[in-house]
Structure 1
Amino acid sequence: MPKIGLWNTAPTKHSLFEDAQGLFTGTVLAALGIMLLSKAGLLTGGVAGMAFLLHYAFGWSFGLGFFVINIPFYYLAYKRLGVAFTVKTFLSVGLLSLLTQYQPQFIEIGYVNPVWAAILGGLLIGMGMLALFRHRASLGGVGILALYLQDRFKWKAGLVQLAIDLSILCMAFFVTSPLIALASVVSAVALNFFIVINHRTDRYIAM
């Protein structure tokens, strides 16, 4: 059991298999959350929010926009958080881009209430991001910046993301209705407070 990190009381290193399942599971959860938001016409924060804005305003593919916007952030990841973090983040972003593009071929959602979509979608994305954070990866963009600031200045990653996300979501009022924009804010709050409460480096000691 100690070999797979169960019941350890000292820091341990994730195996390749543990990293692979963590990245896959986290990305799938995030993709499902994004699908719920998209079905309800909602936005979210970070790079995903920027990609949603481009999608709603100009009809761009969410997956393609998400992948392209993330490219500049890889430099920060490489310089400040290391090669392993950068590679795992690149793989996670690539997989999420593919999943959001092709997932509707495998699952269809008929109707979801916008407020419930905001809460459930935000929590699913938050759980996905938490899984990635615990395997030293992220979904790029704001996640990279938030992790860097937490490592460097001990600022809580969830609060950093929340501040940036709310700034991005202010733009939602220009591309959608006030109700949808407010529900999108609810989603960002649910996502980031989940991260604030659960992303504690003093409680999770695996690397």
Structure 2
Amino acid sequence: MLRRHRKARPVACGKIADPSHHTGASILPCVKNSTSRSLLRQLPVPASVQVAGGSSYRKARRLHAFRVGLRRTVKDTIFMSLGVASAAFGLEAFLLPNAFIDGGATGIALLFATLSPLPFPLLLLVVNAPFMYLAYRTLGREFALKTTAAIGGLAPVTASVHFPVVTHDKLLVAAFGGFFLGAGIGLSVRGGSVIDGTEVLALSVSRRLGITMGDVIMLINIGIFGVAAWLLSVETALYAMITYLAASKTVDFVVEGIEEYTGITIITPHYEEVRAMISNVMGRGLTVYSGKRGFSKNGHSFDTEIIYCVITRLEISKLLTEMEKIDPNAFVVMSSVKDTRGGMIKKRPLKH
């Protein structure tokens, strides 16, 4: 049977047209024979088509990359600016007027500011200067530049912008001074930088010595609080610990966000019903993969389907209720998920 094609003579289904007349891709929809379709896919594409298509594709990719980079730069700048403002407010309105200290590099600068006549902004730059260089060596140029910009912005803000003192109550100073300072650190981290260089030091030391970053930071802060107790007073060191705890919890809250995600693994013989429930009732994406049951009364293993999905903590109760309806004996494992990207986790439930 013969089929006609634009710019080509009639061609039999089992034969291939001259590639100089047209490309295989252009007549592929007209060809029904599977063998001919397979051969047409192998035809060379003219150089002019390759260059034109490739050039347009590269331009589109470059434009997309530029837009993504621009959005990221704007977002990071906003986060860093808010972080500097929050940290400056916590320092000027709470910690500095009451001679309080904190952990980390900021705590070292606060300690020296309490013990010496040197201004805090200058001490902040001096203490963090080695960490800026270490950031360049450890995490790269971009992170080092952002960190330098954040710390370099915090120092002049604390020197030139003076917020009114909010309170002299020591407990409130420790709690809210740590809160605003921690919020500033967390926002800076969201913007791809830090305003306290001890985390950079902790990362470098952990890579060299094989210990965790948490252990390094804990040892640094124990040293700071010990020196504060020795040179200032035990009471000052105790309030410094409260300040540090408030700041660290606020950093975790700001960096990880309000939403907490939970990964759900479900093993049940009624996996089709569970799959339909998660997809249609809850409006969430899921992954189904094959596995083997490793436990049975007679020792045999059986093939099974394993369902995995990610939901917010507010949806756990609903999921467990729906699972109770389908299979009360289903094996359900829940684990914390730091963050998610893509998929249906942040979309509205499907309409049905």
TM-score range, shorter chain: 0.7 to 0.9
Inter-partner Cα distance in structure 1 for 2:150 and 2:253: 23
Q: CA deviation at 1:31?
A: 1.2
The aligned residue for residue 92 of structure 1 is: 150
Inter-partner Cα distance in structure 2 for 1:204 and 1:139: 26
Say which one has the larger Rg: 2
- What amino acid is aligned across from residue 203 of structure 1 in structure 2? D
- What amino acid is aligned across from residue 33 of structure 1 in structure 2? G
Q: Hey, which of these two has a bigger chunk of helix by percent?
A: 1
Inter-partner Cα distance in structure 1 for 2:192 and 2:97: 30
Q: CA deviation at 1:176?
A: 2.3
User: Which of 45, 64, 87 is 1:30 aligned to?
Assistant: 87
Unpaired segments ≥5 residues, structure 2: 1-67, 257-336, 342-352
Q: CA deviation at 1:137?
A: 0.3
1:156-195 matched pairs, under 5 angstroms: 160-195=216-251
Q: Is this contact kept in 2: 1:162–1:188, CA < 8 A?
A: no
Q: Is this contact kept in 1: 2:174–2:242, CA < 8 A?
A: yes
Q: Is this contact kept in 1: 2:183–2:254, CA < 8 A?
A: no
Q: Is this contact kept in 2: 1:74–1:86, CA < 8 A?
A: yes
Q: CA deviation at 1:162?
A: 4.3
Inter-partner Cα distance in structure 2 for 1:204 and 1:113: 41
User: Which of 179, 182, 186 is 1:130 aligned to?
Assistant: 186
Inter-partner Cα distance in structure 2 for 1:76 and 1:134: 20
Matched, 1:113 2:169: yes
The aligned residue for residue 58 of structure 1 is: 116
Q: CA deviation at 1:170?
A: 1.5
Q: CA deviation at 1:197?
A: 5.3
Inter-partner Cα distance in structure 2 for 1:186 and 1:172: 14
Inter-partner Cα distance in structure 1 for 2:82 and 2:211: 27
187 and 204 in structure 1: CA distance in 2 versus 1, 3 angstrom threshold: farther
Inter-partner Cα distance in structure 2 for 1:192 and 1:140: 12
Q: SS in structure 2 opposite 1:17?
A: helix
100 and 132 in structure 1: CA distance in 2 versus 1, 3 angstrom threshold: same
Q: TM-score, normalised by structure 1?
A: 0.80
127 and 204 in structure 1: CA distance in 2 versus 1, 3 angstrom threshold: farther
User: Which of 95, 101, 116 is 2:159 aligned to?
Assistant: 101
133 and 146 in structure 1: CA distance in 2 versus 1, 3 angstrom threshold: farther
Unpaired segments ≥5 residues, structure 1: 1-11
Moved more, 165-174 or 28-37: 165-174
Q: CA deviation at 1:175?
A: 3.2
User: Which of 77, 83, 98 is 1:40 aligned to?
Assistant: 98
The aligned residue for residue 315 of structure 2 is: none
Query: How much is the aligned-residue C-alpha RMSD, in angstroms?
Result: 2.8
- What amino acid is aligned across from residue 23 of structure 1 in structure 2? M
The aligned residue for residue 141 of structure 1 is: 197
Moved more, 143-152 or 120-129: 143-152
Inter-partner Cα distance in structure 2 for 1:112 and 1:37: 10
The aligned residue for residue 5 of structure 1 is: none
Q: Is this contact kept in 2: 1:51–1:65, CA < 8 A?
A: yes
Q: CA deviation at 1:148?
A: 5.6
Task: Point out which structure has higher relative CO (alpha carbons under 8 A, 6+ apart).
Answer: 1
Q: Is this contact kept in 2: 1:30–1:129, CA < 8 A?
A: yes
Matched, 1:15 2:151: no
Inter-partner Cα distance in structure 2 for 1:151 and 1:85: 18
Q: SS in structure 1 opposite 2:232?
A: coil
149 and 135 in structure 1: CA distance in 2 versus 1, 3 angstrom threshold: farther
Q: Is this contact kept in 1: 2:167–2:173, CA < 8 A?
A: no
The aligned residue for residue 203 of structure 1 is: 339
Calculate percent identity across the aligned residue pairs.
25
- What amino acid is aligned across from residue 91 of structure 1 in structure 2? A
Inter-partner Cα distance in structure 1 for 2:251 and 2:206: 12
